[in-house]
């Protein structure tokens, strides 16, 4: 693709841009006379960028920042367009193909809007969605629905989604209390593994304990990923306050025994309550 000066000027001097211009700009950046860095990229090389941009959208949502959300959603869209351009150059698919497939999926999975299906609640909508999805993906067994869960998800999210899918087939605890009993059981098994000193067994039992915690969270209607993040952020606040108290006394944390640090930690908790 040879880009004319008129094309570059038209793209440079616009007062407002839309999706067509975004697609054209990405095409220019990947062209023969485009950006050396953009031309070198592949799906694999910008994989992490897409992950990071998605997390930055989540950060914007958590911060309830409209300007930040607008910017970060744009960055995610850039990643989508980037990957599409790479595939378009190979004549595999285009951005329009993605839009076409997505629109068809949305129409198909909302028969209560675009068809004659009647629903009375959001729960029915979700059940219909899952049923249509399973049929469209030719999933005939419950195992196939579990195997279709994205393995690239963070481990807590992956585990929670597996448990949720399994529950639809009846494979689940009756209550949060029943699920919680397995935390106690797995804790005992981890303790026994630690006594044995078998590192492989310790790792396995630790994983089982985490999985039991995730399933208990699901029964308590708690998102395990969110709960752990909140706990980590709370730890950070308490750590910062502990360090502040230590320094106020003219001391350094790394020079103090854990027993002394525990005393400061207790004071920090009291200060932040």
Indicate the domain borders of the chain.
5-107, 173-222, 227-272
pLDDT tens by residue, 34-82: 999 999 999 999 999 999 999 999 999 999 999 999 999 999 999 999 9
The span from the CA of 141 to the CA of 134, in Å, is: 9
pLDDT tens by residue, 3-44: 678 788 888 888 999 999 999 999 999 998 899 999 999 999
So what's the pLDDT on residue 124? 84
Residue 20, both tokens: 């067509």
Residue 9, both tokens: 């000027």
Instruction: Name the CATH superfamily, with its identifier, for domain 5-107.
Output: MazG-like (1.10.287.1080)
How many other CB atoms are there within 10 angstroms of residue 83's CB atom? Answer: 19
CA dihedral angle for residue 33, residue 34, residue 35, residue 39, rounded to 10 degrees:
-90
The span from the CA of 252 to the CA of 243, in Å, is: 8
pLDDT tens by residue, 82-127: 999 999 999 999 999 999 999 999 999 899 999 888 888 888 888 8
Q: How confident is the model at residue 273 (pLDDT cuts 50, 70, 90)?
A: confident
Residue 261, both tokens: 């640090």
């Amino acid at each position: 693709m040879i880009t004319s000066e008129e094309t570059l000027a038209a793209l440079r001097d616009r007062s407002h841009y839309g999706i067509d211009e975004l697609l054209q700009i990405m095409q220019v950046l990947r062209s023969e006379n485009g950006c050396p860095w953009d031309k070198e990229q592949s799906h694999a090389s910008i994989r992490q960028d897409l992950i990071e941009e998605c997390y930055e959208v989540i950060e914007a949502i958590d911060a309830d920042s409209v300007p930040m959300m607008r910017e970060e959603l744009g960055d995610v869209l850039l990643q989508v367009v980037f990957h599409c351009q790479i595939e378009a150059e190979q004549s595999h698919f285009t951005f329009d193909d993605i839009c076409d497939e997505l629109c068809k999926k949305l129409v198909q999975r909302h028969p209560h809007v675009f068809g004659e299906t009647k629903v009375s609640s959001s729960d029915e909508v979700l059940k219909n969605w899952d049923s249509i999805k399973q049929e469209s993906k030719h999933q005939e067994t419950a195992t196939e629905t579990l195997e279709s869960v994205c393995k690239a998800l963070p481990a807590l999210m992956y585990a929670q989604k597996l448990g949720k899918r399994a529950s639809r087939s009846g494979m689940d605890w009756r209550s949060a209390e029943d699920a919680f009993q397995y935390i106690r059981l797995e804790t005992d098994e981890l303790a026994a593994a630690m006594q044995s000193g078998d590192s492989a067994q310790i790792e396995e039992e630790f994983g089982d304990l985490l999985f039991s915690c995730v399933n208990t969270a699901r029964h308590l209607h708690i998102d395990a990923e969110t709960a752990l993040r909140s706990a980590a952020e709370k730890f950070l606040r308490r750590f910062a306050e502990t360090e502040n108290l230590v320094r106020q006394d003219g001391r350094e944390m790394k020079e103090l025994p854990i027993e002394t640090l525990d005393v400061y930690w207790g004071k920090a908790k009291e200060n932040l309550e």
